[in-house]
Amino acid sequence: MWARDVEVMLGVWLIISPFVFVHSDEATLLWASDFAAGGLVATFAALSYWRPTRHAHLLTLLVALWLVAFGRFGAASPLPPGMQNEIVIGLLLMMFAIIPNYATQPPDVWFDQSDQTLSMRAHRASLGGNRP
């Protein structure tokens, strides 16, 4: 789940970005974009820990697409630092969001489906041990 952990951190970074990059008071859309995207990314990453919503991290791809598109086209170039930050974080999130949850383990579908329940396997994978 390391990709999910990084996504939470990047979400928090987005939420503090308006203060780090000192967005102007007029840039309301940029403030809103940073807060909303950060909150959504962290939420999707957290939801991915719960088995019924384990694919939630894929929704982060949509947020990342928004960040890159808004960051690039939301202002005239040269872009203000806050907009460039959105592009960089958006590109980073695109790379992390496609990493599977238990990336170090073989995918679930490759395990024998007869002897164990899916939740048991997820549990075993979460312990991170090597295969017998």
Interface with another protein: number of residues (CB under 8 A): 30
The one among 12, 46, 61, 72 contacting another protein by CB under 8 A: 72
Residues 87-106 that bind another protein (CB under 8 A): 87-88, 91-92, 95-96, 98-100, 103-106
Retrieve residue 101's tokens.
Answer: 């949850």
Distance separating alpha carbons of residues 87 and 93, to the nearest angstrom: 10
Cis bond before residue 78 (omega within 30° of 0): yes
102: which DSSP letter? T
Q: Which of 14, 132, 121 is nearest to 66 (CA)?
A: 14
Min CB(77)–another protein separation in Å: 6
Q: Which is nearer to another protein, 39 or 84 (CB)?
A: 84
Asked if 111 interacts with another protein (CB under 8 A), we say yes
CB 44 within 8 A of CB 93: no
- Classify residue 17 by burial, with Cβ atoms within 10 Å: 0-12, 13-18, 19+: buried
Asked if 67 interacts with another protein (CB under 8 A), we say no
Asked if 62 interacts with another protein (CB under 8 A), we say no
Contacting residues toward another protein, per CB under 8 A: 2-3, 71-72, 77-79, 83-84, 87-88, 91-92, 95-96, 98-100, 103-107, 109-112, 115, 131-132
